[in-house]
Structure 1
């Protein structure tokens, strides 16, 4: 079929002709039916329209950004602070608890680096083994609804404006799903796109961010609400046989983070952060890595999360592989050249004395938010990256104040940096998440504006306690 130019195409071609003709010294003679003044006005209008057209083409073809407008971490929300005394009373409520196992869990708690202000569900502490599905549901539904409502209220966006919802909770997966509950609780639109990630472990927070980022690439002018949490009520180990399952009892606590993302370019000056890189590493093909964190039952049929002794070693291996792929994207050129030259030197001379250069990541990253899974893991990562006590402070303080809140832990660490007034425009933040599978995920963000301490809202869980942290040098030094 023959091509017939539309009126819009004809108008555009005419404007292009006028635009280019206006640059010719005798251009007006080509249009004798136009007066010089009218010709100049039309030329200016067409040139301006052509510039707008080029800008629209450029905007359409350039990758969509991923801005973090704001985030919110829950604090107590009706839960109980787990002091050493509260934890001991909780364990003694168990039926047929052994004295040796009681002493073991108290020992793990004392060495964990967790203080007396982390939280656990009131129903769990009072009912212990008698908790049921409804108790577990109430714990998680309360956390995610409070976090989401508080965040949306803070940024001034209605729930019906949300286009994408991603929720991750590893060990609690009711029907209807948690994402369905949130749609119901906040009265969201019927065409909202919802996703519920389960079984992904403590690293799932950045997996959710990665999924939301990919969705924002194809759905223009959208808001994505991401929630990361874990359920404590339904996954506490009440057995006496497996001490590897008892470790998780002493480490895990209540927590939830809500993050609001968008690809709207108008938020360039209003958003807090922009996602630069999101990298995932999965060691599931390795037998030892796959089994180091497992949800199992003991011989009596009591479920619990097994944390194997090789966890720190596996975490280090996963981080090294993750860094190998991430480093070329974030390190300065001279650091990369040093690494390459040292690798060539080691290959040529084949000597044990020639070591591969370990890059200085502090030249590329200003703030490190390490997953607060345990003091040993944080120390291991800090040592491997040659970080100072100042650099690992956010992760250690998040662990001390809130415990291991699973996938939301890296957001409590970021909230610590924010409450301390550390985030300045242009800074780069590296979030490092580790979890079962075994997975290591990295998220690198650029700070888009200065975040002052006085600007912290109720969305920041450190608001009332930041001046008391760090409480003691011994906590940072391990």
Structure 2
């Protein structure tokens, strides 16, 4: 038989499998449609039957119904009063919507770029690393998913590095003020209108605080509610949003600004402990400023509405508590060590988080499938493979903390996401590196720059942090969202996505 015949036979053999996969796909789609619209499907026959019955009523029956309602006027008034009172109480006590008016991500100047060759040359010239550590950092850089255009602070461009409190303050001011200047320019916001300020930076907490630096720079009003969050890791951006949301439930008609950043200048590790060298290779300069409001009038120009915030803390487990730990090595040099169990602990934290988040966002069809496998496993002691809910049915976009290639790979696998769902995370890691708590905002900016955000789309921001924490924020787009003013991706978005090795 000729080769053409062999090809035809091979394809014919695979055809039933293809048809079966298509059949299963449409069966699942049909199942989700029926379950999601079950209430509507049940009420349609009832409405039709009622309509038919009403159309067959004669004028005498209608007159009798009206007289009956007149005789029960007192009951109708009482019921109406209770209904009005109940609606009033509900309106007064319901959570106020929180709107994301706009946000800005800091873009460092080009002279702070740190190509791999410059980074490694600088490490060698400092004389702090042995050959084994230099080779280790080189391999981490090559496999990290970072590109050649990430940024390190000014102090790291000197030999030896200028490690001082003044240099650290300069980095903080450059990032925070840069992001805030862009935010104020894009929103035309008067700094005096800000009622709440929340700043998060894990490793640099000077006195006066970073929040006080912002109050001083922009001459914010004297009765502002300002907060400074420290030591809370890369998930602190979601924690800061959650704190601002709670404050906006108490203080009416105001604005809240959330500033998220990390400071590298005083937190570079200059030793040879391998577990402490990884942050050197991944963390880069970055920051974001987010404007939130509970003013109903801001809905017209706001980009998103906050739907849910879910926070999970695993700090009660010792291994989780110590898996990202700032300490001194045997020679007394300070750094942040990463445990070999980090990914396993992150997986457990993720599981706890989505167990809480799932019922809030997943369609009932997915919840039933998850519940049925749980019952089969617990009650009937069957070895049932755990059902992974399809979060693609709940969210249109995913902003996964760009902590490193391994973090993104793990979430892509565990949540059964497609490459396009993790594109924003991978490209943010490539272009800006791990910018800690602000990385999820660079990812959102990437999606906007690609013009993919449509009205009604839901976005899931998920981040991990020391402690160990896993935090999620869910946003809903209020319109077709355009890129923010002076977007961090403004002059490079056309180059992305890039192919990663």
Output the TM-score relative to the length of structure 1: 0.85
What is the alpha-carbon distance in structure 2 between the residues aligned to residue 195 and residue 79 of structure 1? 32
2:474 match: secondary structure: strand
Q: Which residue of 2 aligns with 1:15?
A: none
What is the alpha-carbon distance in structure 2 between the residues aligned to residue 397 and residue 256 of structure 1? 17
2:382 match: secondary structure: coil
1:331 and 1:96, CA in 2 relative to 1: closer, same or farther beyond 3 A?
A: closer
1:119 match: secondary structure: coil
Match of 1:333 among 357, 361, 364: 364
1:129 and 1:297, CA in 2 relative to 1: closer, same or farther beyond 3 A?
A: farther
1:83 and 1:356, CA in 2 relative to 1: closer, same or farther beyond 3 A?
A: same
1:53 and 1:159, CA in 2 relative to 1: closer, same or farther beyond 3 A?
A: farther
* 1:302 and 2:333 are equivalent in the alignment: yes
Q: Which residue of 1 aligns with 2:373?
A: 342
Aligned length: 418
Unaligned runs of 5+ in 1: 1-51
Output one character per residue of 1:440-476: Cα deviation in whole Å (capped at 9) or x when no partner: 0000000111014xx5420x2011101111111x45x
Output one character per residue of 1:339-362: Cα deviation in whole Å (capped at 9) or x when no partner: 11222222343222x223221110
2:372 match: secondary structure: helix
Q: Is the 8 A contact 1:236 1:249 kept in 2?
A: yes
Give matches, 1:138-157, under 5 Å.
Answer: 138-157=170-189
Q: Is the 8 A contact 1:67 1:272 kept in 2?
A: yes
Q: Which residue of 2 aligns with 1:413?
A: 443
Match of 2:192 among 160, 179, 182: 160
TM superposition shift of 1:80: 1.1
Output one character per residue of 1:11-63: Cα deviation in whole Å (capped at 9) or x when no partner: xxxxxxxxxxxxxxxxxxxxxxxxxxxxxxxxxxxxxxxxx999987653332
What is the alpha-carbon distance in structure 2 between the residues aligned to residue 59 and residue 176 of structure 1? 41
What is the alpha-carbon distance in structure 2 between the residues aligned to residue 94 and residue 304 of structure 1? 17
Give matches, 1:2-41, under 5 Å.
Answer: none
Unaligned runs of 5+ in 2: 1-83
What is the alpha-carbon distance in structure 2 between the residues aligned to residue 374 and residue 323 of structure 1? 21
Output one character per residue of 1:260-306: Cα deviation in whole Å (capped at 9) or x when no partner: 00001111221001111001100001111111101111122111111
Q: Is the 8 A contact 2:99 2:305 kept in 1?
A: yes
TM superposition shift of 1:126: 1.1
Q: Which residue of 2 aligns with 1:30?
A: none
What is the alpha-carbon distance in structure 2 between the residues aligned to residue 94 and residue 55 of structure 1? 68
Q: Is the 8 A contact 2:128 2:270 kept in 1?
A: no
Q: Which residue of 1 aligns with 2:485?
A: 457
* 1:469 and 2:496 are equivalent in the alignment: yes
What is the alpha-carbon distance in structure 1 between the residues aligned to residue 113 and residue 337 of structure 2? 25
* 1:318 and 2:345 are equivalent in the alignment: no
Give matches, 1:214-225, under 5 Å.
Answer: 214-225=246-257
Q: Is the 8 A contact 1:456 1:463 kept in 2?
A: no
Q: Which residue of 2 aligns with 1:69?
A: 101
Output one character per residue of 1:152-195: Cα deviation in whole Å (capped at 9) or x when no partner: 11101111110000000000001110000000000111111100
TM superposition shift of 1:92: 1.4
1:299 match: secondary structure: coil
TM superposition shift of 1:398: 0.7
TM superposition shift of 1:127: 3.9
Match of 2:476 among 443, 446, 466: 446
Q: Is the 8 A contact 2:126 2:159 kept in 1?
A: no
Q: Which residue of 2 aligns with 1:177?
A: 209
Q: Which residue of 1 aligns with 2:3?
A: none
1:93 match: secondary structure: helix
* 1:403 and 2:430 are equivalent in the alignment: no
Give matches, 1:235-314, under 5 Å.
Answer: 235-240=267-272, 242-314=273-345
What is the alpha-carbon distance in structure 1 between the residues aligned to residue 467 and residue 141 of structure 2? 25
* 1:351 and 2:379 are equivalent in the alignment: no
What is the alpha-carbon distance in structure 2 between the residues aligned to residue 53 and residue 182 of structure 1? 45
What is the alpha-carbon distance in structure 2 between the residues aligned to residue 424 and residue 320 of structure 1? 29
Q: Is the 8 A contact 1:432 1:440 kept in 2?
A: yes
1:381 and 1:162, CA in 2 relative to 1: closer, same or farther beyond 3 A?
A: same
Q: Is the 8 A contact 1:66 1:274 kept in 2?
A: yes
What is the alpha-carbon distance in structure 1 between the residues aligned to residue 464 and residue 139 of structure 2? 24
TM superposition shift of 1:228: 0.3
1:200 and 1:96, CA in 2 relative to 1: closer, same or farther beyond 3 A?
A: closer
2:370 match: secondary structure: helix
What is the alpha-carbon distance in structure 1 between the residues aligned to residue 416 and residue 111 of structure 2? 37
Match of 1:190 among 198, 222, 227: 222
Q: Is the 8 A contact 1:79 1:120 kept in 2?
A: no
2:367 match: secondary structure: helix
Q: Which residue of 2 aligns with 1:83?
A: 115
Output one character per residue of 1:392-414: Cα deviation in whole Å (capped at 9) or x when no partner: 11111111110000111111111
What is the alpha-carbon distance in structure 2 between the residues aligned to residue 429 and residue 314 of structure 1? 24
Q: Is the 8 A contact 1:205 1:408 kept in 2?
A: yes
Q: Which residue of 2 aligns with 1:135?
A: 167
Give matches, 1:95-134, under 5 Å.
Answer: 95-134=127-166
What is the alpha-carbon distance in structure 2 between the residues aligned to residue 98 and residue 231 of structure 1? 25
